[in-house]
Amino acid sequence: MRKMPLAIWAMVLGAFAMGADEFIVAGVVREIADALEVSIGAVGHLESVYALGVAIGAPVFTALGTRFGRRPMLLLTTGVFLLGNLISALGPGYEVIMTGRIVSAMAHGAFLGIAAVFAAELVDRARKGRAVAVVFSGLTASTILGAPIGAAVGQAFGWRFTFWTLVIFGGLALLGLLAALPRVAAPRTVQHEHHDHQEHHHAPAGAEFEGLDAHALAHLGGGGQGPSMREQMAALKRPAVWGALLTTMLGYGGVFTSYVYIAPQLTEITGFSPAWVTPLLLLFGVGLFAGNTLGGRLADKEIMPAVLGTLGALAIALFAMNVAIESKVATVAMMLLFGTAAFAVVAPLQLRVMAAAGHAPDVASAANISAFTLGSAIGIYLGGAAIDGGLGLSSVNWVGGLLTSAGLVAALITWAAIDRRQPVPAHHHDPEPVAHRH
């Protein structure tokens, strides 16, 4: 078994850094609020603008990528991410730190999509799926370790070192990419070409993405392959696609409504000491990993029951958090269950959009990334507004539960009114490989 190219491991580090940036501030919300003399809700806005930056940056950098090669775009997106976190680490005040968050977020989605395609180009066809999965293993690891690292570093050295951690990871990734990325993908041998020609008749389009976890798929969007842009845009016009996008935005929005404000809830309501925040966030991360796997398997069986079931479970978990947060024992259990429910919804929501788009899912899938991030931004903003409005820290759980419940209602209405009445055109290939299928 041949080793993966060094460039792929540099992409792994970049994927970890960018994935961690989604979660890392959640562990130091109170510390940032106290240091900058702003409200907890205002610190939450640092996360909501990050989510908006991801939604805006992905299409912008994707458009730029049509004019430039993948190597320059990988280096550019990594450099932008590094610059944004440098601004946040050095920023003297709230506004400058927020600017840094926006800058770093702009590169997030584009880097992951470009890295997936580039990684597949660096190896022969037999190892394409493994190469893409290796890149996204960095993202998977960040879902478990991002917030705990932020909390541990922030408590040990101060909250600014949370951003410096991202600078270090991003800087190492950039150096690795500069040193290891080939200027062009290595040409395949005639033997490989013959092997590829044989496999072409057996492997479905997009098979290099087989085995990726749901979180990776939610960030991947399209790989720049498949049907023409005209077909992709035509698929995006389908009412069923827009119904699925609305469900994603509302349903997933409840996750970060609560999660971004979880650390101050643990210390100020439940009564845990700050030292407990890191292990509890790690427990939540274990739940994310478990939910990711569970959601993929449920979505493989039947998509709409999986969508409705996981959204319902997430809404219940969010409402239950409002009660559980008063008890240490109940909170420990709910951190695991909430984490599981939070990511169990990802694969069903992503696959519903892809199914609604038919044989041209790339642009619709990319739009769903924006729906995930826009929903997160809305939820974080509403949670912050509830806290700053005097409703209390635990009110974010009710707000999140209501937002996810709205997504569940949207799923039911759009399924009954649109999905069942407008059959999806036949796929060119079975979409099953894009979920957890082993």
Domains, in order of start, for the chain? 1-203 (1.20.1250.20), 229-438 (1.20.1250.20)
Neighbours of 59 (CB within 10 A): 17
SS (H, E, C) 4-62: CCHHHHHHHHHHHHHHHHHHHHHHHHHHHHHHHCCCHHHHHHHHHHHHHHHHHHHHHHH
Express each pLDDT in 195-242 by its tens digit. 444 444 444 444 455 555 555 555 554 444 445 556 656 666 778 888
Express each pLDDT in 57-112 by its tens digit. 776 776 676 677 778 888 999 999 999 999 999 999 999 999 999 999 888 877 87
Comparison of pLDDT for 93 and 132, the residue scoring more: 93
Comparison of pLDDT for 282 and 240, the residue scoring more: 282
Question: In this structure, are residues 122 and 182 in contact, taking their beta carbons and an 8 Å threshold?
Answer: yes
pTM value surpassing 0.85: no
Question: In this structure, are residues 360 and 231 in contact, taking their beta carbons and an 8 Å threshold?
Answer: yes
Which pLDDT does position 434 carry in this prediction?
Answer: 36
For the residues 182-207, what does the mean pLDDT come to?
Answer: 47
Which pLDDT does position 409 carry in this prediction?
Answer: 96
Which pLDDT does position 353 carry in this prediction?
Answer: 83
Q: What is the mean pLDDT of the chain?
A: 81
Which pLDDT does position 62 carry in this prediction?
Answer: 65
For the residues 258-284, what does the mean pLDDT come to?
Answer: 92
For the residues 16-34, what does the mean pLDDT come to?
Answer: 87
Q: Could you tell me which of 248, 258, 288, 218 has the C-alpha nearest to residue 379?
A: 258
H-assigned helices in 158-189: 160-180
Express each pLDDT in 411-427 by its tens digit. 999 988 876 665 544 44
Question: In this structure, are residues 361 and 352 in contact, taking their beta carbons and an 8 Å threshold?
Answer: no
For the residues 346-368, what does the mean pLDDT come to?
Answer: 75
Own/partner long-range contacts of 63-67 (Cβ < 8 Å, ≥24 apart): 65/110, 65/114, 65/224
